[in-house]
A and B are shown apart, each in its own frame.
Chain A
Amino acid sequence: MIELLSTAPPTSTGEAVAFWVLAPIAVVAAVMILLSRKAVHSALWMATTMIVLAVLFIMQGGIFLGVVQVVVYTGAVMMLFLFVLMLVGVDASDSFVETLRAQRVAGVLLALGLSGMLVAAISRAAFPAAPGIGAANDEAGGHVEAIAQAIFTRYVFTFEVVSIVLITAAVGAMALTHKELLSPRKLHGELSIERVRGQHPTPYPSPGVYAQHNGVDTPALLPDGSASEASVPDELRRQGTVRYTELEATREQESDGGTPR
């Protein structure tokens, strides 16, 4: 199978069909990365492009690279992208307001110029007859063997440097995302002492007791009919999404805006 793929003539019909089917998919997916408003959609289009590129690698005899592309890019890198997207807020959509005037037009023009220049250079260059990497594979006794031979003999120094880069990246990521504790962590004993000596040794009232709803955003009603502030979670109070009952609302009107307890 490996020999068949890599020694195939450069212009077989099957390869041409696959190329003309896959290349538009890759280009459309790449354009959709730019046009998607949400970053998650961009990430999914990115995964599409990467899988198509993996197939293109395999079509050109880079079977090992194609598999590595699927494992490393669509597996690990896109996973990391989605993880960070979830971390920084999945619905944080891009603002499409231009902060620099005509920046978008200038960017597109620059890219058109770049691609025009590269296409002109490629179209005027003379290329060899595309022998394929079959001969190089046969020399080493197989595709993976040929790659292993190259990495561990001619490129062994590059390989070591790249391994240093990977280790440095891992340590750097840990150092960057490490959060310093501003105060020492409280242990269980200190927490209990704090609670017994504090204002409220008993458990706080649960939300919704004697109220009209039993949701966590509804404060419990005290015997005099007023709402208990301590019964709703701090986070909801901070967000201002606490629901007060009609009883409490009428009470507030009667007493001219008395603050709920």
Chain B
Amino acid sequence: MNPENYLYLATILFAIGSVGVLVRRNAIVVFMCVELMLNASNLAFVSFARLNGNIDGQIVAFFVMVVAAAEVVIGLAIIVTIFRTRRSASVDDPNLLKL
């Protein structure tokens, strides 16, 4: 098997995650799809580390993971705050800035 197949898998997972961000309405599911895209990029980083024979790709993937964890914390706090005031977790409902 060619190790490039990992990159193809990462591409497919990234595309699926982007479909979820574009199509789904529930803010939490949109968030899960963002996480899926970050994970796909992590897979690409680990594959590149292996293809190039150095460890730096894995370090970058590690930092991506940490930033993703921080992002999840803040994003879910925002979702909880919006739900508390508007009783909805749908991304269509907060349209107060619309003319």
Q: A-side interface residues toward B, CB under 8 Å?
A: 10-11, 15-16, 19-20, 23, 26-27, 30-31, 33-34, 39, 42-43, 46, 49-50, 53, 56-57, 60-62, 64-65, 68-69, 72-73, 76-77, 80-81, 84-85, 87-89, 92, 94-95, 99, 103-104, 106-108, 110-112, 114-115, 118-119, 122-123, 127-128, 130-133, 135-137, 146-147, 150-151, 154-155, 158-159, 162, 165-166, 168-170, 172-173, 176-177, 179
Contacts and interface: CB of A to CB of B under 8 A. Distances in A.
Interface centre among A57, A80, A87, A150 (most CB of B within 10 A): A57
B65 A68 contact: yes
B36 A46 contact: yes
B15 A27 contact: no
Q: B interface, by DSSP: helix, strand, loop or mixed? A: helix
A93 B2 CA distance: 41
List of 10 A-B pairs having minimum Cβ-Cβ separation, nearest first:
A107-B22, A16-B1, A169-B70, A131-B53, A115-B15, A176-B77, A173-B77, A111-B15, A118-B11, A111-B19
Contact of A122 (B8, B66, B90): B8
B50 A81 contact: no
A151 B4 contact: no
Interface in B1-37: 1-9, 11-20, 22-26, 28-29, 31-33, 35-36
A77 B35 contact: yes
Contact of B50 (A31, A42, A133, A162): A133
Contacts of A130: 3, 50-51, 53
A84 B17 CA distance: 20
B55 to A, nearest CB: 5
Given A94-B24, A103-B23, 20 more contacts: A10-B50, A11-B1, A30-B12, A39-B29, A49-B36, A61-B49, A64-B58, A65-B65, A84-B80, A92-B89, A107-B18, A127-B4, A128-B53, A130-B51, A136-B54, A137-B55, A158-B63, A165-B70, A166-B69, A170-B73
